[in-house]
Structure 1
Amino acid sequence: MLKKAVFLADPDNKNISRVFDETVMGRLNSQVQLFPEWIHPGNANSYINELADVEIAFSTWGLPLFTVDELKAYLPNLKALFYAAGTVQRFARDYIARDCIVVSTWAANAVPVAEYTVAQIVLANKGFYQTAPLYKSSYKASKELSKVFPGNYEAKIGILGAGMIGRLVIEMLRPYELQVDVFDPFLPDAAAAELGVRKTDLHDIFANCDVISNHLANLPTTVGILNKQHFNLMKPHSTFINTGRGAQLVEADLIHALREDSTRTALLDVTHPEPVAEDSPFIHLENVILTPHIAGSIGNEVARMGHYAAAECERYCAGLPLKYGVTLKMLETMA
């Protein structure tokens, strides 16, 4: 007999059908018996009898928040939540407190972020962001400016955070023969050696790297961790990339550093607040490139997360070890 399962989502959640597309739903329907209604705190009590023996739940962005008491009342036999999206920080502890396995497909969401980051690093090392706009006013000046950039052989890249995304970026950079320096207090020396990177501190990275990319975990301890003592060290013609979290920067300090040396460049896919305020200097600074949080899964990429969730469910139903289960210990350091 198939295990009973349910989707946890508000009725207007448009992400469910995108992440769990027809192909993913075909996989799920062969594995579990899905309840026909999406469940949220507003309707759970109406289906309290039907939900009593539900063992598995699926969700994605927009997961409605249940309290521990509500989970106990409405989903007393829930054993596994497969979350087809990224961070689980806002709800995972409540589910784990109910002895419910929490699975995040952050590994699937890491793929497009890493691809995006590597593309930006390659372009930054070629001076793309500085020379392209200059070309329209002066080809000669644009060509001359291109000579100051290192290209993609033996350039120095700084990676902040060697979690799922940071490690994937490092792996994808291997063919480029770059020197990769990493700041991550939680990265063991043996793991750094296996990755082929040099562990160092923030000051060293900001002072010496041609491109610096932020992938630090989104934790209270990382809020404002990047500030003037780092940004003021950036080399001329260096580039800072942020696909992590905007709150990890003291943005006023980054703005000051960019104004102080206009050859420095910032590529910001995330800001705090998001979007930036209309009067933010980021809007007007020519050495700032803003993108609307596109590094993560967009378009067809979101279905990859649904497939990861389906694959994890297959392993769960077969009694096999899960690849992407989340523990309380992991929540201390993961994004």
Structure 2
Amino acid sequence: MKIAILDDYQNVALTFGDWNSLAAEIEVFTEAFSGPEEVVRRLAGFDAVVAMRERTRFPAEVFDRLPRLKLLVSTGPRNAAIDLEAAARHGVVVSATGYLGPPAAELTWALILAAARNLPAEFRSVREGGWQVGVGTMLHGKTLGVLGLGRLGAETARIGRAFGMEPIAWSPNLTAGKAAEHGATAVTKDELFARSDVLSIHLVLSDRSRGLVGARELALMKPDSILVNTSRGPIVEEADLVDALRRKVIGCAALDVHDIEPLPSDHPLRTLDNAVLTPHIGYVSRETYEIFYRDAVEDIAAFQAGSPVRVLS
């Protein structure tokens, strides 16, 4: 068996998991592929592929052109970048791995604190020989808006209470009782945007959530508010967000996710001093990678033994 490990940006995949236990030839790709044509060209000779989250897309057109592919391992429990129906039509088994939620919630708070206390500029000033350059904002007593009160949203709200914030929340099916279970108050969508000093997004990307936050919603927000997105880039209309930041409609955006990843080097978000940006590292922790690659090895071994595990359908 010939195995490809994709999008290993830090070149650490082989240090996690017992890869030597597999009877296989393994090749690691550390750079992102440019699109479907490169995916097909680079992976044509592989029997199995280990995909890191949704960094590489596997639509029907890719499966059509990879007849040798028999196993696709997706790190994490779901992967919207894989066309599961197309995989099934081509006889490709798609297996998943375990996942850890806390690292993403922790990064959410790293971004909130970085934005509230102007940390990127302060870091830069000290490194360049300077000293204080801005005035931060206290979180205690402020209102934390949570857009999507699922597992990660609820954890974000819990941490917000520890900071002395008042959590409010909205999602399409959220009830007052469910919000109260997590120490939050259910509000209308418009109220969420209007009242929040910090608004954190925790929705799964779907047809219903794509573009949910646009110019109208941003215009409802306070001029010194902070918008945080550690979920998926397309939930926010990117052009509207860039415009809002340029015109100071909101105070700051702290983003770990983007429409195009890796973020193009000439992207306008990179030029804005009120945008705090990280390269989609919410799940990138040693503990998470240990689970990803340990389980990936187990998935491959089980497939080789004729008994696939953690199969997505």
Specify the TM-score bucket, using the shorter chain as the normaliser. 0.5 to 0.7
Distance 1:153 1:8 in 2: 50
Matched-pair contact (CA < 8 Å) for 1:83–1:102: yes
SS at match of 1:266: strand
Distance 1:188 1:200 in 2: 9
- The verdict on how the C-alpha distance between 1:8 and 1:154 changes in structure 2, with shifts beyond 3 A counting, is farther
Q: Which amino acid aligns with 1:285?
A: L
Instruction: Report the CA distance between 1:96 and its aligned residue.
Output: 6.4
Instruction: Report the CA distance between 1:192 and its aligned residue.
Output: 2.5
The residue aligned with 1:317 is none
Which stretch has the larger CA shift, 121-130 or 238-247? Answer: 121-130
Pair 1:195 & 2:182 matched? yes
- The verdict on how the C-alpha distance between 1:64 and 1:19 changes in structure 2, with shifts beyond 3 A counting, is farther
- The verdict on how the C-alpha distance between 1:67 and 1:113 changes in structure 2, with shifts beyond 3 A counting, is same
Pair 1:165 & 2:152 matched? yes
The residue aligned with 1:103 is 96
Q: Can you list the C-alpha shifts for 1:67-96, whole angstroms capped at 9, x where unaligned?
A: 49989x975xx8xx7532475123234456
The residue aligned with 2:45 is 42
Distance 2:3 2:148 in 1: 31
Distance 1:13 1:277 in 2: 18
Instruction: Report the CA distance between 1:131 and its aligned residue.
Output: 7.4
- The verdict on how the C-alpha distance between 1:184 and 1:35 changes in structure 2, with shifts beyond 3 A counting, is farther
Distance 2:300 2:184 in 1: 35
Distance 2:221 2:160 in 1: 22
The residue aligned with 2:79 is 88
Aligned residue among 15, 19, 23 for 1:21: 15
TM-score (norm 2): 0.68
SS at match of 1:230: helix
Q: Which amino acid aligns with 2:106?
A: E
Aligned residue among 99, 103, 112 for 1:121: 112
Instruction: Report the CA distance between 1:115 and its aligned residue.
Output: 1.0
Name stretches of at least 5 consecutive residues in structure 1 with no aligned partner: 1-5, 45-56, 315-321, 328-335
Q: Which amino acid aligns with 1:9?
A: A
Instruction: Report the CA distance between 1:184 and its aligned residue.
Output: 1.9
The residue aligned with 1:206 is 193
Q: Which amino acid aligns with 2:45?
A: G
- The verdict on how the C-alpha distance between 1:276 and 1:186 changes in structure 2, with shifts beyond 3 A counting, is farther
Distance 1:21 1:294 in 2: 19
Q: Can you list the C-alpha shifts for 1:125-174, whole angstroms capped at 9, x where unaligned?
A: 456568777999895x84xx44xx3x232321112223443333334444
The residue aligned with 1:224 is 211
- The verdict on how the C-alpha distance between 1:164 and 1:313 changes in structure 2, with shifts beyond 3 A counting, is farther
Matched residues, percent identical?
22
Name stretches of at least 5 consecutive residues in structure 2 with no aligned partner: 28-42, 302-308
After TM superposition, the structure 1 = structure 2 runs for residues 66-77 of structure 1, keeping only pairs within 5 Å, are 67=63
TM-score (norm 1): 0.64
- The verdict on how the C-alpha distance between 1:164 and 1:283 changes in structure 2, with shifts beyond 3 A counting, is same
Pair 1:9 & 2:8 matched? no
Matched-pair contact (CA < 8 Å) for 2:144–2:157: no
- The verdict on how the C-alpha distance between 1:183 and 1:35 changes in structure 2, with shifts beyond 3 A counting, is farther
- The verdict on how the C-alpha distance between 1:230 and 1:137 changes in structure 2, with shifts beyond 3 A counting, is farther
Q: Which amino acid aligns with 1:42?
A: G
Q: Tell me the matched-pair count.
A: 283
Instruction: Report the CA distance between 1:308 and its aligned residue.
Output: 5.8
Distance 2:109 2:216 in 1: 26
Q: Which amino acid aligns with 2:79?
A: V
After TM superposition, the structure 1 = structure 2 runs for residues 223-302 of structure 1, keeping only pairs within 5 Å, are 223-261=210-248, 264-274=251-261, 275-276=263-264, 278=266, 280=268, 282-297=269-284, 301-302=288-289
- The verdict on how the C-alpha distance between 1:14 and 1:128 changes in structure 2, with shifts beyond 3 A counting, is closer
Structure having the higher helix fraction is 1
Which stretch has the larger CA shift, 270-279 or 304-313? Answer: 304-313
Q: Can you list the C-alpha shifts for 1:91-133, whole angstroms capped at 9, x where unaligned?
A: 234456779674343x32x332211111222344456568777
Distance 1:64 1:250 in 2: 24
Matched-pair contact (CA < 8 Å) for 2:158–2:183: no
